[in-house]
Chain A
Amino acid sequence: MIRKLVRALLAACALFALFAEPAHADDNILQVRVQHTPEGGGKKQPVEGVAITVTDAAGTVVGEGVTDASGVAKISVPAAGDFTVTIDPDTLPDGIGVSDGENSRTVKVTDGLGGNANFNLGAAPQEKDSKLSLLPRTLFNGIRFGLVIAIMSVGLSLIYGTTGLSNFAHGETVTIGAVMTAVASGWFTLSSARGGWGGLLQLSAAVVIGVSCAVAFSGALELVLWRPMRRRGIGLTSMMIVSIGLAMLVRFVIQMRYGSQPKSYAQFASQRNINLGPIGVTPRDLTTAVIALIALCAVAYLLMRTRTGKAIRAVSDNPDLASTTGINTERIILKVWLLGGALAGLGGVTFGLDEQVSWNMGTKILLLMFAAITLGGLGRPFGALVGSLAVGLFVQLWAWLFGDYTDLKTMGALMAMILVLLFRPQGILGKKERVG
C-alpha cells in the first residue's frame, strides 16, 4: 500500500519535472541525469557529486559539471550538434560502478530544446562482501546439485556393485525419465490451467509416467540384453562397449523423435523467479532438494532394513557366496536394474526441473556420475552419495570462487576426482584393498 503511494507520488513528480523542463531550456542546455539501481532491485536513486565532461566532435572539452542532490547536472554548450558526455568513474560513490564503455555516450543537442543524457548505473562489479553473502546460497545449491547427482549415481553404483558393469547407457535412462515426463506433461497442459495445485497434480502424473518408462527401459534391457550376455559368458569389457553402443543408439533415437531443442516442463515454467528467504531459494529448488532427499532416504531404508536390501548387499559383496546361501542372484540383479532405472528416471526429472530437458542431458551428466561413484568408492552405494555431494559442492564452489571461469566448473570436479585417485585410489568410503 505504502509502496503504491510512493510510486504514485514519484510518478507525479516525474510528470512535473517533464512539464517544468522546457522553461530551463532557453539556450543550448545539456541535461545529464545519473541514477543507479540499488542491489536487489527497487527504485532508481539519484547519484550526487559525479564529475561530468562534455566534449565536441573534435574532442575538445566544451563544458564540465557535477551532479546535484537530484542526480542532475546542467551544462551549457556553445552550439547545437553532437556531443560526447563522459562521467568520471572515480567520482562515483562506493558500491556503484560503471562498466567499461558505458561511462560515455553521444548526445544530440538541438537549438532551443537542448539535449538529454541519462546514465543508469548498476552495483559495482565484483565486490568482496557481496561475494561472501552468496556463500550460503552457493552451499545450498551445491548440496542440492549433489543430491540430484546422488539419486542417479546410486543406481549406477548399485548396478556396478552387483554386475560389475560400468553402464554407459545409464545417462540415457536418465534422459528417458526426463524426456517422457516432459512429453507427458505436454499432453496434460492442452486441457487445463497452468500452475497451482492442478499443475502440480498434472506434473506428478507426468513424473509417474516418465519414471515408469525409465524403469521399463532399464528392466527390459536386463531381460533381453544383459542377462543373455551374462549367460553366454560375455566378459565385462565387451558388455561395457555394448553399453556405449546402446547409449549412442538410444540417444540419437531420442534426438530424432524428441528434437534437438531443449524444453522445460510446462507446469513449472511460470514458477521461475520467485525468491523466498535470505538465501534466495526458489520453490523449484526446494522441491528438487526435497524430492531427492526423500528418494535417498527411501533407498537407504531399503538397503539397510529390508530383506531385498540385505540380499542386494550380499550380491554386491560376493555373488557366488550369495547364491550358495540361497539368494536368487538373477532376481536380485533384475531388481537392482529396476531400482536403478527408477532412480535414474527420478534423477532425470529433478535435473530437468533444474535446467532444461534435452536429448543429451543424460550424456552430459554421466561423467559427473562416474566421477561421483569413483570418488566415493566404486560399487559402494553410500560412497556414491558422499561422492555426489562432494561433486555437487565442488562444482558450485568452483563457480563461486572463480566467477569468471564458470564454464570450467565441470572440469574442476573431474580434476578433483583424478587427484583423489592419485592419493586414495579406493575412494573416500572404499575399503582399503589392493585395486591394482
Chain B
Amino acid sequence: MSQILSNGLYGAIGVTAIAYCLAAIGLNIHFGYTGLLNFGQAGFALVGGYAVAMPVMNWQWSIWATIPVVIIASTVFALLLGIPTLRLRSDYLAIVTIAAAEILRLLVSTPKLDNVTGASDGINSFTNDIQNSIPGFLRGRSVPLWEKQISEYEMWVIMLGWFLVVVFSLAVWALMRSPWGRVVRSIREDEDAARSLGKNVFAYKMTSLILGGIVGGFGGAILVIGQRNASPGSFQTQFTFLTYAIVVLGGVGKVKGPIIGAMIFWFIISFSDSLLADWTDRTGFQLPTWVMDSSNFSFFRWILVGGGLVLLVIFRPQGIFGNRKEQVFDVR
C-alpha cells in the first residue's frame, strides 16, 4: 500500500504533473481570465517541445539557447491562430485551435520530415546539456520519495519545472492585479461593455493568447526534457482535454487553480493506476476478470477522468476548493 501511495505522490510532483500544470496556467490565462475557448493548448505545448528539441538535434544548439526559440515560436503560433479567429464568435476559436493543434501534430508525425522531426518516433538525445548541468548536491545519488527513488536527472528537471511554475504563477498573479488583468477580466464578463469603454478588445485577447501560449510552450518544453523524447504522441488532442480537466478541478480563473488541479489530478491518476495494477495482478486481492484484468485496467483512469470532469462541471463548477461567488465559467 505504501508503495502505491508513494507512486501517487510521485505522480503529483513528477515531470508530467509539472508539464500539465504549466499548460494549465497558460490555459487559465486564456479560458479562466479572458474567456477564450482555446482547444489547442496541445499545439502550444508541441510548439514549445519541438522548439527545444529540434535546434539541439538539427543544428547542435545549446539547449539553453532554445529558451527564446520557445517564446518566439509560441508567439508566432498564437498570432497565426488569433488573427483569423479572435474577431469571430468563441466557438470558432475552439474549432480552429483544435484543428491547428492537430495539423501541427500530423505535420511532425509525417515520415517525409523524418530527418527534421524524427516522425512518429520523435527526437531523442537532446538533453545532454541538462544532464551536464545537474548541480553537485544531486550528482551520483537518487532522491527517495517515501518508497520511490527519483533519479538525479529527473530530480533536477522536477526542480527546474517547479521553479518555472512558481515564476509563472507569480507573474499571472501580478498581471491579473494590473490594469491589463482588469481589462481582460472585463472582456470575459462582457466583451461589448469593454469595447464600448474604448478598449481594443482584439489586442487584449491577442496578448492573452500569446502570454498563455508561451506558458503552455514551456509546459511542452519541460515535458519533452523530462521524457528525454519529443514525439507527436505526447501532444494529442487528449492533452488539451486533460488540461481543461485540471483547470476545472483546481478552480477556473484562480492563480493556485492549475497547481492544485495538476497535483490532485496526477495523484489520482497515478494512485488509481497502481492500485488497479495491484488489484489485477496475480497476487493478493484480485478484481474479477470480467470487471477488468491486467490487459485493460490502464484504460480505467481515463474513464475516471471523463466521468469526473462531467460531475465536476455539473455539480462543482467552481472546482474543489473554489467558492461559488466568483462563477466564471460561461463565456460567450
A residues lining the B interface (CB < 8 Å) = 166, 225, 229, 234-238, 240-242, 244-253, 255-256, 259, 363, 367, 370-371, 374, 378, 404-405, 407-408, 410-411, 414-415, 417-418, 421-422, 425, 435-436
Residues of A within 8 A of B300 (CB): 252, 256
Is the beta-carbon distance between A246 and B310 smaller than 8 angstroms? yes
Assess A407 versus B106: contact at CB under 8 Å? Given A245-B307, A425-B88: yes
Is the beta-carbon distance between B310 and A415 smaller than 8 angstroms? no
Assess A421 versus B88: contact at CB under 8 Å? Given A237-B331, A246-B306, A367-B98: yes
Per the CB 8 Å criterion, the residue count for chain B at the interface is 48
Is the beta-carbon distance between B111 and A234 smaller than 8 angstroms? no
Q: Which one, A245, A408, A410, A421, contacts B310 given CB within 8 A?
A: A245
- Min CB gap B275→A, angstroms: 17
The answer to whether the Cβ of B299 comes within 8 Å of any Cβ in the partner chain is yes
Assess A256 versus B296: contact at CB under 8 Å? Given A241-B244, A421-B84: yes
- Min CB gap B38→A, angstroms: 12
Q: Which residue of B lies closest to A422 (CB)?
A: B84
Assess A244 versus B37: contact at CB under 8 Å? Given A236-B332, A256-B292, A408-B106: no
Assess A405 versus B110: contact at CB under 8 Å? Given A245-B306, A256-B292, A378-B91: yes
Is the beta-carbon distance between B95 and A249 smaller than 8 angstroms? no
* CB-CB contacts below 8 Å: B96-113 with A: 96, 98-100, 102-103, 106-107, 109-112
Residues of A within 8 A of B310 (CB): 225, 242, 245-246, 249
Is the beta-carbon distance between B317 and A238 smaller than 8 angstroms? yes
Is the beta-carbon distance between B111 and A248 smaller than 8 angstroms? no
The answer to whether the Cβ of B330 comes within 8 Å of any Cβ in the partner chain is yes
Nearest 10 pairs of A and B residues by beta carbon: A245-B309, A248-B306, A235-B330, A249-B306, A245-B310, A414-B99, A422-B84, A252-B302, A436-B87, A411-B106
Q: Which residue of B lies closest to A404 (CB)?
A: B112
Interface of A is mostly: helix
In angstroms, Cα B111 to Cα A421, docked, is 29
The answer to whether the Cβ of B85 comes within 8 Å of any Cβ in the partner chain is yes
Is the beta-carbon distance between B88 and A248 smaller than 8 angstroms? no
Q: CB-CB contacts of B306-332 with A at 8 A, as 1s and 0s?
A: 111110011001000000000001111
Is the beta-carbon distance between A237 and B241 smaller than 8 angstroms? no
In angstroms, Cα B307 to Cα A49, docked, is 70
In angstroms, Cα B236 to Cα A367, docked, is 13
Is the beta-carbon distance between B99 and A245 smaller than 8 angstroms? no
Q: Which residue of B lies closest to A405 (CB)?
A: B112
Residues of B within 8 A of A225 (CB): 310
Q: CB-CB contacts of B290-303 with A at 8 A, as 1s and 0s?
A: 00100010011011
Q: Which one, B91, B306, B330, contacts A252 given CB within 8 A?
A: B306
Q: Which one, A256, A421, A436, contacts B96 given CB within 8 A?
A: A421
Is the beta-carbon distance between A244 and B106 smaller than 8 angstroms? no
Is the beta-carbon distance between B303 and A245 smaller than 8 angstroms? no
- Min CB gap B204→A, angstroms: 14
Is the beta-carbon distance between B314 and A411 smaller than 8 angstroms? no
Assess A421 versus B85: contact at CB under 8 Å? Given A236-B330, A242-B310, A410-B106: yes
Is the beta-carbon distance between B299 and A252 smaller than 8 angstroms? yes
Is the beta-carbon distance between B99 and A248 smaller than 8 angstroms? no
Assess A411 versus B302: contact at CB under 8 Å? Given A237-B330, A245-B308, A378-B91: no
Q: Which one, B99, B238, B245, B305, contacts A417 given CB within 8 A?
A: B99
Is the beta-carbon distance between B112 and A245 smaller than 8 angstroms? no
- Min CB gap B156→A, angstroms: 33
* CB-CB contacts below 8 Å: B68-107 with A: 84-85, 87-92, 94-96, 98-100, 102-103, 106-107
Is the beta-carbon distance between A237 and B332 smaller than 8 angstroms? yes
Residues of A within 8 A of B296 (CB): 255-256, 259
Is the beta-carbon distance between B313 and A245 smaller than 8 angstroms? yes
Residues of A within 8 A of B299 (CB): 252, 255-256
Residues of B within 8 A of A363 (CB): 237
Residues of A within 8 A of B87 (CB): 425, 436
The answer to whether the Cβ of B215 comes within 8 Å of any Cβ in the partner chain is no
In angstroms, Cα B145 to Cα A381, docked, is 57
Is the beta-carbon distance between B95 and A166 smaller than 8 angstroms? yes
- Min CB gap B92→A, angstroms: 6
Is the beta-carbon distance between B92 and A425 smaller than 8 angstroms? yes
Residues of B within 8 A of A166 (CB): 91, 94-95
Residues of B within 8 A of A422 (CB): 84
Is the beta-carbon distance between B107 and A408 smaller than 8 angstroms? yes
In angstroms, Cα B307 to Cα A371, docked, is 27
19 further A-B contacts with Cβ under 8 Å, apart from A244-B309, A245-B307, A407-B110, are: A234-B314, A245-B308, A245-B310, A246-B306, A246-B310, A248-B238, A248-B303, A248-B305, A248-B306, A249-B310, A250-B306, A252-B303, A370-B99, A371-B99, A408-B106, A417-B95, A418-B96, A421-B84, A425-B92
- Min CB gap A21→B, angstroms: 44
The answer to whether the Cβ of B248 comes within 8 Å of any Cβ in the partner chain is yes
- Min CB gap A41→B, angstroms: 28
In angstroms, Cα B88 to Cα A418, docked, is 12
Q: Which one, B89, B98, B111, contacts A436 given CB within 8 A?
A: B89
Residues of B within 8 A of A237 (CB): 37, 90, 329-332
User: Which of B107, B237, B303 gathers most chain A CB within 10 Å?
Assistant: B303
In angstroms, Cα B289 to Cα A256, docked, is 12
Q: Sample 12 A-B pairs with CB under 8 A, ordered by A number.
A: A166-B91, A225-B310, A229-B314, A237-B90, A237-B329, A238-B313, A245-B308, A249-B303, A251-B306, A256-B299, A367-B99, A418-B100
Is the beta-carbon distance between A370 and B309 smaller than 8 angstroms? no
Residues of B within 8 A of A418 (CB): 84, 96, 99-100
- Min CB gap A161→B, angstroms: 13
In angstroms, Cα B110 to Cα A252, docked, is 27
- Min CB gap B302→A, angstroms: 4
Q: Which one, B95, B109, B306, contacts A374 given CB within 8 A?
A: B95
- Min CB gap B141→A, angstroms: 39
Q: Which residue of A lies closest to B201 (CB)?
A: A436
In angstroms, Cα B96 to Cα A237, docked, is 16
- Min CB gap A182→B, angstroms: 18
- Min CB gap B209→A, angstroms: 15
Residues of B within 8 A of A407 (CB): 106, 109-111
In angstroms, Cα B99 to Cα A248, docked, is 18
In angstroms, Cα B118 to Cα A373, docked, is 34
Residues of A within 8 A of B112 (CB): 404-405
